[in-house]
């Protein structure tokens, strides 16, 4: 891994940590590449069933793009000859990930950092962590993260956040369903472990195929989605996990998932 992103494995869970504590875990090209690499590794390992994304220390999950003029991998420039952008590549990779992505919000998540939170499937946050988009305070607008913000934030809340640049605490964000859980700092890891266990104990095959289908269905019309869904359901029903799930239900026992 890179020196700005570290990983650690605990059983079926891979934890990916943005390791730029001195820069409030700011997002740059190396961080984006490190997260993408970690997701590639996780999906290539059949034993990994969930990925946790967090930041180093207890101050910031990710403070967004590095605003220092001399910052390495600044997020605000695009090569006219190659308009691909590393933030867009990172968000595409997160969106395509077939493993559950769980944000452990250990501190403030602002601007692009809030985009990372919204790009995860589930969120457990410190209740005093600040979440928001501060771009209007520096003459910008949260362009790169809007696709994820629109997916996860109610319109009135989104507009107020974008137009004022004022953040919410995770405690307040919970009321708008922006996070799943907001707990005191001392309870963060216990709540995370509780949620992760509920996820990894379920069918890995069903989750992988389900997340893959969800990405496509989000982009479909209603009628197209209803045509696609039965096809995917029939395919899922033929997997080993589905057969095991039905057998375990009939036999009143816990399923033994194979991930196939």
Report DSSP letters for 26-56, one per residue: -B-HHHHHHHHHHHHHHHH-TT--EEEEEES
Query: In this prediction, what percent of the chain has a pLDDT beyond 90?
Result: 90
Length of the chain: 260
Q: What distance in Å separates the CA atoms of residue 183 and residue 175, rounded to the nearest whole number?
A: 13
Position 189 scores a pLDDT of: 98
Q: What distance in Å separates the CA atoms of residue 257 and residue 260, rounded to the nearest whole number?
A: 8
Position 157 scores a pLDDT of: 97
Q: What distance in Å separates the CA atoms of residue 147 and residue 70, rounded to the nearest whole number?
A: 28
Q: Is the torsion defined by CA of 6, 116, 233, 228 positive or negative?
A: negative
Q: Which residues, in sequence order, are CB contacts of 26 under 8 Å at separation 6+?
A: 20, 62, 63, 64, 65, 66, 67, 71
Mean pLDDT in the chain? Answer: 93
CATH fold of 5-200:
2-enoyl-CoA Hydratase; Chain A, domain 1 (3.90.226)
Helices 204-218 and 240-251, axial angle in degrees (round to 10): 120
Position 85 scores a pLDDT of: 84
84-143 pLDDT, tens digit per residue, is: 789 999 999 999 999 999 999 999 999 999 999 999 999 999 999 999 999 999 899 999
* 8 Å CB contact between 96 and 215: yes
Q: Which residues, in sequence order, are CB contacts of 152 under 8 Å at separation 6+?
A: 118, 178
* 8 Å CB contact between 29 and 73: yes
Position 84 scores a pLDDT of: 72
* 8 Å CB contact between 204 and 257: yes
* 8 Å CB contact between 240 and 258: yes
pLDDT category of residue 81 using cuts at 50, 70 and 90: low
243-258 pLDDT, tens digit per residue, is: 999 999 999 999 999 9
Residue 135 known to be catalytic: yes
Q: What distance in Å separates the CA atoms of residue 178 and residue 65, rounded to the nearest whole number?
A: 21
DSSP state, residue 253:
S
**Residue 231: is its pLDDT beyond 70?**
yes
66-79 pLDDT, tens digit per residue, is: 766 555 555 555 56
Name which of 14-28, 56-70, 197-211, 235-249 the model is least confident about. Answer: 56-70
pTM score, whole prediction: 0.92
Determine phi and psi for 250, rounding to 5 degrees. -65, -35
Q: What distance in Å separates the CA atoms of residue 28 and residue 62, rounded to the nearest whole number?
A: 11
**Residue 65: is its pLDDT beyond 90?**
no
* DSSP β-ladder status, 122-126 and 181-183: parallel
* 8 Å CB contact between 65 and 28: yes
19-43 pLDDT, tens digit per residue, is: 999 999 999 999 999 999 999 999 9
Residue of 29, 37, 43, 135 marked catalytic: 135
């Amino acid at each position: 891994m890179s020196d700005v992103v570290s990983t650690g494995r605990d059983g079926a869970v891979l934890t990916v940590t943005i390791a730029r504590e001195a820069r409030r875990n700011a997002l740059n090209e190396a961080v984006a590449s490190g997260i993408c690499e970690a997701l590639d590794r996780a999906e290539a390992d059949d034993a990994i069933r969930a990925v946790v994304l967090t930041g180093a220390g207890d101050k910031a999950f990710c403070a967004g793009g590095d605003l220092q003029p001399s910052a390495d991998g600044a997020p605000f420039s695009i090569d006219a000859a190659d308009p691909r952008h590393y933030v867009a590549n990172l968000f595409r990779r997160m969106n395509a990930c077939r493993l559950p992505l769980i944000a452990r919000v250990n501190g403030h998540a602002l601007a692009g950092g809030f985009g990372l939170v919204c790009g995860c499937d589930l969120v457990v946050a410190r209740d005093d962590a600040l979440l928001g988009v501060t771009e209007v305070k520096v003459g910008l607008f949260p362009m790169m993260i809007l696709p994820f913000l629109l997916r996860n934030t109610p319109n009135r809340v989104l507009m107020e956040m974008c137009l004022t640049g004022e953040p919410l605490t995770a405690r307040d964000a919970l009321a708008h369903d922006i996070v799943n859980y907001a707990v005191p700092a001392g309870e963060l890891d216990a709540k995370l472990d509780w949620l992760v266990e509920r996820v990894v104990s379920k069918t890995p095959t069903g989750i992988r195929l389900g997340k893959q289908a969800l990405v496509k269905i989000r982009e479909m019309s209603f009628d197209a989605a209803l045509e696609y869904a039965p096809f995917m359901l029939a395919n899922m029903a033929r997997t080993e996990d589905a057969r095991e799930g039905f057998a375990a239900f009939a036999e009143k026992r816990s399923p033994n998932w194979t991930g196939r």
